[in-house]
């Protein structure tokens, strides 16, 4: 009887501990960040601002790649300025995520949001209601004030489309991530004005860490880095699912100027630029080729010139389109 009683007491204590942990996760996972200050950014809707915003939204920052449903998200023409109605769905380990409608609809989009609220979610990932979008923390690079203002001006100028999008749903793992790992992006210094448009490494570095967010996909990230890019930056090796074939994955290549493992080490700048004009090769690649095809030669050249200035990192990632789970060493030597 003593043994049974001990087992019962132990089981009860374990269940109580589990209940406490679950309760902590449920409470902490719904934490509000409403106290994060709204950036002092206001948009002025002028033709010039709208045009600048259109270029940023549809090409450089590749918003349609996520804020359109599939298959439109991988088939759009940035010159046609699609209505960003959201509805792109991702089935992830921590739940089901839907991209929101970001048209000027008051009921279904962001028409009721203030400029400061839009600026805050772009800069920190904190939504209007104080909740945190880990997607925005990880998927949007650091933007200068004037670029944020131009993006807002463009979004305000576009038609309202009253298309409701299902709410994203987190499972228990997702709530654990929200409770203990995901955090607003608060550490970055504010930049009032983006570097001027010129084919300079300075401009390229801003683009690669900002609106194009090259660093976000070509660098490791995860729970330990609160979904922000970590070292070694731009050295590739990060796998992503091939959305057209669950048996395959896409691995981000090494963009550093390493002579043995850097994929673009031997590319002259004109080849780099023309690759972006060539469009999608692998149908299920997460690379937003459609958007980037709309970037100017100047901005693409600036990125290439920036990538030539960073430290070379030897990181052999292997074939970038390969069966899920295959490691570099599992492929036969050439």
pLDDT of residue 332: 47
* Residue 102 pLDDT > 90: yes
Once rounded to an integer, what is the mean pLDDT over residues 219-243? 78
What are the angstrom distances between the C-alpha of 304 and each of 80, 233, 312?
Answer: 27, 15, 14
CB under 8 Å to 120, separation ≥6 — which residues? 36, 37, 38, 39, 126
Query: Residue 5, CB half-sphere, CA atoms under 13 Å: how many?
Result: 2
Question: Phi/psi of residue 165, each to 5°?
Answer: -115, 135
CA distance 308 to 255: 9
Q: Is the pTM of this model over 0.85?
A: yes
Residue from 120, 132, 246 nearest 184 by CA: 132
For the record, the structure tokens of 281 come out as 């090769």
Q: How does pLDDT run across 39-97, given as a tens digit for each residue?
A: 999 999 999 999 999 999 999 999 999 999 988 767 778 778 999 999 999 998 889 99
Query: What is the overall mean pLDDT for the chain?
Result: 87
Break the chain down into helix, strand, coil percent, rounded to 5.
40, 5, 55
CA distance 105 to 158: 9
Q: How does pLDDT run across 153-168, given as a tens digit for each residue?
A: 999 999 999 999 999 9
Burial 141-150 (b: 16+ CB within 10 A, else e): bbbbbebbbb
pLDDT of residue 18: 42
Residue from 35, 80, 110 nearest 291 by CA: 80
Region of poorest pLDDT, from 19-28, 31-40, 127-136, 317-326: 19-28
Contacts 24+ apart (CB under 8 A), 24-27: 24/179, 25/172, 25/175, 25/176, 25/179, 26/175, 27/179
Domain positions in the chain are 47-180, 201-327
Once rounded to an integer, what is the mean pLDDT over residues 235-249? 92
What burial class does residue 302 get, using C-beta atoms within 10 Å of its C-beta: 0-12 exposed, 13-18 middle, 19+ buried?
buried
For the record, the structure tokens of 175 come out as 């709530």
For the record, the structure tokens of 120 come out as 């805050």
Q: Which residues sit opposite 90 in a β-bridge?
A: 97
CB under 8 Å to 121, separation ≥6 — which residues? 127, 128, 133, 136
What are the angstrom distances between the C-alpha of 24 and each of 19, 129, 329?
Answer: 9, 21, 42
Q: How does pLDDT run across 243-291, given as a tens digit for each residue?
A: 899 999 999 999 999 999 999 999 999 999 999 999 999 999 999 999 9
pLDDT of residue 180: 83
Cis bond before residue 71 (omega within 30° of 0): yes
pLDDT of residue 182: 84
């Amino acid at each position: 009887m003593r043994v049974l009683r001990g087992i019962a007491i132990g089981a009860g204590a374990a269940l109580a501990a589990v209940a406490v942990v679950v309760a902590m996760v449920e409470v902490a996972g719904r934490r509000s960040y409403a106290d994060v200050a709204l950036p002092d950014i206001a948009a002025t809707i002028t033709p010039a601002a709208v045009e600048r915003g259109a270029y940023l939204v549809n090409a450089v920052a590749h918003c349609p790649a996520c804020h359109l449903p599939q298959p439109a998200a991988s088939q759009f023409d940035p010159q046609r300025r699609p209505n960003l109605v959201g509805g792109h769905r991702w089935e992830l380990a921590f739940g089901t995520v839907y991209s929101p409608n970001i048209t000027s609809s008051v009921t279904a989009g962001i028409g009721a949001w203030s400029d400061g609220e839009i600026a805050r979610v772009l800069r920190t990932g904190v939504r209007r209601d104080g909740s945190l979008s880990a997607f925005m923390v990880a998927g949007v690079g650091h933007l200068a004030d004037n670029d944020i203002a131009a993006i807002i001006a463009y979004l305000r100028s576009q038609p309202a489309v009253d298309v409701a999008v299902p709410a994203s749903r987190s499972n228990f793992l997702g709530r654990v991530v929200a409770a203990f790992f995901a955090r607003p992006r608060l550490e970055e210094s504010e930049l009032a004005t983006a570097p001027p448009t010129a084919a300079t490494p300075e401009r390229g570095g801003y683009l690669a860490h900002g609106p194009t967010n090259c660093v976000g996909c070509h660098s490791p990230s995860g729970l330990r880095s609160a979904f922000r890019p970590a070292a070694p930056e731009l050295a590739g090796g990060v796998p992503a699912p091939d959305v057209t074939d669950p048996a395959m994955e896409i691995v981000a290549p090494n963009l550093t100027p390493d002579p043995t493992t850097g994929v673009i080490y031997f590319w002259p700048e004109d080849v780099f630029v023309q690759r972006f004009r060539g469009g999608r090769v692998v149908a299920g690649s997460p690379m937003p080729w459609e958007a980037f095809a709309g970037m100017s030669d100047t901005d693409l050249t600036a990125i290439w010139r920036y990538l030539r200035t960073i430290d070379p990192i030897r990181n052999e990632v292997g074939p970038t389109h390969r069966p899920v789970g295959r490691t570099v060493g599992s492929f036969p030597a050439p």
